[in-house]
Chains A and B, each alone.
Chain A
Amino acid sequence: MSTASDPEQTSFRLSMLINDTRYRSLTFQAIAAILLALSIWYLGNNLIQNLREAGLNISFEFFGEPAGYDINQRLIEYDSQSSHGRAAVVGILNTLLVAFLACITATVFGVIAGVLRLSNNWLVAKLMAFYVEIFRNIPVLIWIIIIFTIMTAVLPSPRAFRGDDPASSMFLDAVAFTNRGVYIPGPSFNAPLFEATAMNWLLVLIVLIGSLFGARAISSWATKVQEETGDRPTTWYMTAGVWLVPVVILMFIMGLTWTFPELKGFNFSGGIKIGGPLIALWFALSIYTGAFIAENVRAGIQAISKGQTEAAGALGLRPGRIMNLVILPQALRVIIPPLISQYLNITKNSSLAIAVGYADITATLGGITLNQTGRAIECVLLLMLFYLTISLLISAGMNVYNNSIKLKER
């Protein structure tokens, strides 16, 4: 016996695969899976055939072979006898170096331009709008080439610094701008605690990180006192002491000295040389991305309604505290996510180094190593893998940050 409410059990028909919503998604996914498998098989098959015809195979052995080319700008020891693998590491460090430097300066430019664009000074606001429009609408590659041209064609050669009445002179007797690069004084240690220079700097870094924790402890102690008594103790001299004293003591122990660049023969020696390509890339990425960051900063500040400032003022807060406690925490929530994606853009745009001959990972692994070994597939894949890793790391960091500042709603 059957009740009226029981639907009739229909047997499965083939047309239900396309017409019945219960099965349709399975059908589509099966079709997609088959198409995907077919195209992978097709591409893979072509690849194998092409490699066989060219007499190639996929192997990463070339990483151990000597590279045979020189890299001027490097952070670790490297010479032409070093392996391709080491050249790639030099490239990775160079990419990270220029990306790090450009992120800092782009933020500085962007924040200054973004705040000044909202200034009540008409001329300054217009100038900043001009800066933003000019730099956003011209390709970054052209900016890199323009600044590189300034570096190589406009700056004097080291020869111009010679003689009794030189055509050019060093800035403050310490910095020399030449067409081979910029020479700045470099620090060195007379009584290093470790053999390797890097280890000494690592020690400095560790001390600085210790100071950071010390400064945070002071600030949380001050907050605690404020909550108990209502008065916030003056802490700036303690904070300054925690930051400065340990580092200065360490520097004194290790005997910090500065070596200044000096003209020897036809070139400068001593100090640190920052190559023209690095400066061109660094500066171009900074001003180009700075224009984008300026817009983000402006949007972030404008997103905070004027009522917030007025409400904070009505509560009796002074202007400095209004900015620190009310406006900035809210504006940063708007500014930081696009800011981080601009950092990501800087990292990716730093691959344009290849246009001015800065030895980043694209120029070493994807440029010279690729051309010398002919291992196109391996090199390009590794190159992509590197950038992908960086991007995923940065966006993972961004997600963590976004979750931590998300408005806690019910």
Chain B
Amino acid sequence: MPTDTSVAFVRTAEIPPSPPPASETGIVKWLRENLFSSWGNTILTLFSFWAIYVILTATVPWIVNGVWTTSSLAACREVLQGEVGACFSVLTERWNQLLYGFKYPVEEYWRPNLAFLLLFAAAAPVLFFDLPRKLLIFTALYPFIAYWLIWGGSIMIPIVALLGFVAGYFVFDRFGKQSFAQGFFGAIVAAFVVWWLGGFLIPDTEDTLLPAVPSRDLGGFMLNMMLGVTCVSLSLPLGIVLALGRQSKMPLIKGICVIFIEFIRGVPLITLLFVASVMLSYFFPPESTVDLFLRVVIMITMFSAAYIAEVIRGGLAALPKGQYEAADSLGLDYPQAMRLIILPQALKISIPGIVNVAVGLFKDTTLVSVISMFDLVGMIRGPILASTEWNGVYWELLSFAALLFFIVCYGISQYSQWLERRLATDHR
């Protein structure tokens, strides 16, 4: 084997690949690329670190030093002895007031608690449709159970109300197959007949299984939850009707819906709450007394229905015209086409918008504190901050309220994003 002497050295084995330079790997590379890629970025990063530092030094000692077990601000300041620290004891001491208001009878707190727990059971089959469909029966029963739990009084009231709906359902089931209109109007008549007859069954006694609680005694975060849940669930069907009405070819119906929607969307919610608190009672019969809670529910429902209607109208408009024509060519009439073809698709497109409206509505329930209802914000600004023990405990209370709302609203929006991914049938 001849050896080539002109080459001084020939490598006979392959060298192993050397690791990348330290600046191109691991955390250093990540830092260089994401935080210090240019002068501007470095300045921004340093500024952000400074901002985070300021925020943390302001809040962490305050939270860590928090006092949880005193009975007044003065006692709390004594414990802290001039150190920075939060008086979270206002939350523990006024916990019940924050959640239930200051008038709801203490021994009955288990009732709203139970209603709140059952809410999850009732909402689950609506929110997660992998669950068995039979559970929807409980969802349908829930409003009556929750009403009875929270307001108490004679059990006959929710039962008669439920019977009316059941009667209406059976009439619709019997006649709705031939003609939607016949079934629909028949169902309404049947329900009203049952309610009218049932009115005689309701006993006029104070002595009931669950003592009655008047709705002016409701308050705290419970009131926000109740307003939010009730108004969203009521405004969804109303919003669908308004959206369909706005799409209608009948000029009168379309006109009514357009005027209603544009009027409601053009005014702030607070003016509608003024209507509920000072003006609406002028429009009821003189002898009737409709309580403030119901009046507020009516106005907030109208408010959110108008917004939901616009969202659904967007969904309806986004459907290709072929869907409408396909439904027509199958020989479906209007109610069938809407129920089976159009609305399932339109509602699916509208889900993110509807959830946005629901989150906005839930945040807007705090506005009832302006018309002197004692919701969470009303409780904080009214009875708690005005009391001699806790006059001046702003930050603990306001952060607690902010935290509660953040948890609920952020949770809802995360659910909506999950649902959007879940419902996405287009392939990307």
Chain A residues with CB under 8 Å of chain B are 18, 25, 28-29, 32-33, 36, 43, 46-47, 49-51, 53, 116, 119-124, 127, 133-134, 136-142, 145-146, 149, 153, 348-349, 351-352, 354-355, 362, 366, 370, 376-377, 380, 383-384, 387-388, 391-392
CB-CB under 8 A for A29 and B406, given A122-B35, A142-B377, A354-B270: no
Structural contact, A362 and B278, CB atoms closer than 8 A: no
- Chain B 241-254, CB-CB to A under 8 Å as 1, else 0, gives 00000000111110
State in angstroms the CA–CA spacing of A141 and B377 once bound together: 9
Structural contact, A120 and B369, CB atoms closer than 8 A: no
Which residues from chain A contact B37 at a C-beta distance below 8 Å? Answer: 120-121
Q: Is there a chain A Cβ closer than 8 Å to B326's Cβ? A: no
Q: Is there a chain A Cβ closer than 8 Å to B59's Cβ? A: no
Structural contact, A354 and B278, CB atoms closer than 8 A: no
Structural contact, B278 and A380, CB atoms closer than 8 A: yes
Structural contact, A376 and B279, CB atoms closer than 8 A: yes
Q: Is there a chain A Cβ closer than 8 Å to B240's Cβ? A: no
Structural contact, A123 and B48, CB atoms closer than 8 A: yes
Structural contact, B266 and A392, CB atoms closer than 8 A: yes
Q: Which 10 A-B pairs give the minimum distances between C-beta atoms? A: A391-B266, A122-B34, A137-B409, A139-B363, A348-B268, A376-B278, A351-B268, A388-B266, A29-B252, A139-B366
Which residues from chain B contact A362 at a C-beta distance below 8 Å? Answer: 268, 270-271
State in angstroms the CA–CA spacing of A392 and B259 once bound together: 12
Structural contact, B267 and A391, CB atoms closer than 8 A: yes
Least Cβ–Cβ distance between A336 and chain B, in angstroms: 18
Structural contact, A380 and B370, CB atoms closer than 8 A: no
Structural contact, A377 and B279, CB atoms closer than 8 A: yes
Interface of B is mostly: helix
Which residues from chain B contact A351 at a C-beta distance below 8 Å? Answer: 268, 270-271
State in angstroms the CA–CA spacing of A50 and B268 once bound together: 26
State in angstroms the CA–CA spacing of A349 and B364 once bound together: 10
Which residues from chain B contact A354 at a C-beta distance below 8 Å? Answer: 270, 370
Least Cβ–Cβ distance between B259 and chain A, in angstroms: 11
CB-CB under 8 A for A124 and B278, given A140-B363, A149-B394: no
Q: Which of B179, B263, B394, B405 has the most CB of A within 10 A?
A: B394
Structural contact, A349 and B268, CB atoms closer than 8 A: yes
- Size class of the contact patch on chain B: 35 or more
Least Cβ–Cβ distance between A53 and chain B, in angstroms: 6
Q: Is there a chain A Cβ closer than 8 Å to B322's Cβ? A: no
Least Cβ–Cβ distance between A58 and chain B, in angstroms: 10
Stretch at the interface among B17-25, B61-69, B281-289: B281-289
Q: Is there a chain A Cβ closer than 8 Å to B256's Cβ? A: yes
Which residues from chain A contact B111 at a C-beta distance below 8 Å? Answer: none
Q: Is there a chain A Cβ closer than 8 Å to B141's Cβ? A: no
Measured CB to CB, the nearest residue on chain B to A139 is B363
State in angstroms the CA–CA spacing of A138 and B271 once bound together: 21
Which residues from chain A contact B284 at a C-beta distance below 8 Å? Answer: 46
Which residues from chain A contact B147 at a C-beta distance below 8 Å? Answer: none
Structural contact, B48 and A146, CB atoms closer than 8 A: no
Least Cβ–Cβ distance between A288 and chain B, in angstroms: 10
Structural contact, A348 and B267, CB atoms closer than 8 A: yes
Interface of A is mostly: helix
Structural contact, A47 and B268, CB atoms closer than 8 A: no
A-B contact pairs, 21 of them (CB 8 A): A18-B181, A29-B251, A29-B253, A32-B252, A120-B34, A122-B35, A123-B44, A123-B49, A136-B409, A138-B402, A142-B366, A142-B402, A142-B405, A146-B398, A351-B270, A352-B270, A354-B270, A376-B274, A380-B274, A387-B268, A388-B266
Which residues from chain B contact A18 at a C-beta distance below 8 Å? Answer: 179, 181
Q: Is there a chain A Cβ closer than 8 Å to B367's Cβ? A: yes
Q: Is there a chain A Cβ closer than 8 Å to B327's Cβ? A: no
- Chain B 261-275, CB-CB to A under 8 Å as 1, else 0, gives 011011111110011
Which residues from chain A contact B401 at a C-beta distance below 8 Å? Answer: 142
Which residues from chain A contact B266 at a C-beta distance below 8 Å? Answer: 387-388, 391-392
Structural contact, B364 and A33, CB atoms closer than 8 A: no
Q: Is there a chain A Cβ closer than 8 Å to B359's Cβ? A: yes
Which residues from chain B contact A380 at a C-beta distance below 8 Å? Answer: 271, 274-275, 278-279
Least Cβ–Cβ distance between B349 and chain A, in angstroms: 17
Structural contact, A46 and B271, CB atoms closer than 8 A: no
CB-CB under 8 A for A138 and B267, given A25-B249, A124-B48: no
Which residues from chain B contact A139 at a C-beta distance below 8 Å? Answer: 363-364, 366, 377, 405
Which residues from chain A contact B402 at a C-beta distance below 8 Å? Answer: 138, 142, 146
State in angstroms the CA–CA spacing of A387 and B264 once bound together: 10
State in angstroms the CA–CA spacing of A388 and B262 once bound together: 9
State in angstroms the CA–CA spacing of A140 and B179 once bound together: 48
Measured CB to CB, the nearest residue on chain B to A33 is B252
Measured CB to CB, the nearest residue on chain A to B181 is A18
Which residues from chain A contact B286 at a C-beta distance below 8 Å? Answer: 46, 49-50, 53
State in angstroms the CA–CA spacing of A124 and B285 once bound together: 59
Structural contact, B282 and A50, CB atoms closer than 8 A: yes
Structural contact, A138 and B268, CB atoms closer than 8 A: no
Q: Is there a chain A Cβ closer than 8 Å to B381's Cβ? A: yes
Which residues from chain B contact A32 at a C-beta distance below 8 Å? Answer: 250, 252-253, 256
Among the listed B49, B253, B278, which residue makes an inter-chain contact with A28, where contact means beta carbons less than 8 Å apart? B253
Q: Is there a chain A Cβ closer than 8 Å to B410's Cβ? A: yes
Structural contact, B263 and A388, CB atoms closer than 8 A: yes
What 13 new A-B contacts, CB under 8 Å, besides A25-B249, A33-B252, A142-B398?
A18-B179, A29-B252, A49-B286, A119-B41, A120-B41, A121-B45, A123-B44, A141-B367, A142-B366, A142-B401, A355-B369, A366-B271, A370-B274
State in angstroms the CA–CA spacing of A388 and B188 once bound together: 35
Least Cβ–Cβ distance between B76 and chain A, in angstroms: 16
Structural contact, A119 and B270, CB atoms closer than 8 A: no
Q: Which of B249, B252, B265 has the most CB of A within 10 A?
A: B252
Among the listed A127, A142, A384, which residue makes an inter-chain contact with B271, where contact means beta carbons less than 8 Å apart? A384
State in angstroms the CA–CA spacing of A352 and B392 once bound together: 22
Least Cβ–Cβ distance between B177 and chain A, in angstroms: 15
Measured CB to CB, the nearest residue on chain B to A341 is B265
Least Cβ–Cβ distance between A385 and chain B, in angstroms: 9
Which residues from chain B contact A123 at a C-beta distance below 8 Å? Answer: 34-35, 44-45, 48-49
Which residues from chain B contact A137 at a C-beta distance below 8 Å? Answer: 359, 363, 405-406, 409-410, 413
Q: Which of A43, A46, A145 has the most CB of B within 10 A?
A: A145
State in angstroms the CA–CA spacing of A25 and B263 once bound together: 25
Which residues from chain A contact B406 at a C-beta distance below 8 Å? Answer: 134, 137-138
CB-CB under 8 A for A370 and B278, given A137-B413, A142-B401, A153-B394: yes
Q: Which of B51, B250, B283, B369 has the most CB of A within 10 A?
A: B283
Which residues from chain A contact B263 at a C-beta distance below 8 Å? Answer: 384, 388
Structural contact, A121 and B279, CB atoms closer than 8 A: no
Which residues from chain A contact B44 at a C-beta distance below 8 Å? Answer: 116, 119, 121, 123-124
State in angstroms the CA–CA spacing of A383 and B278 once bound together: 13
- Chain B 385-397, CB-CB to A under 8 Å as 1, else 0, gives 0000000101100
> B312-350: which residues lie under 8 A (CB-CB) from chain A?
none
Measured CB to CB, the nearest residue on chain A to B398 is A146
Measured CB to CB, the nearest residue on chain B to A354 is B370
Which residues from chain B contact A383 at a C-beta distance below 8 Å? Answer: 267, 271, 274
Among the listed A28, A121, A376, which residue makes an inter-chain contact with B250, where contact means beta carbons less than 8 Å apart? A28
State in angstroms the CA–CA spacing of A169 and B364 once bound together: 39
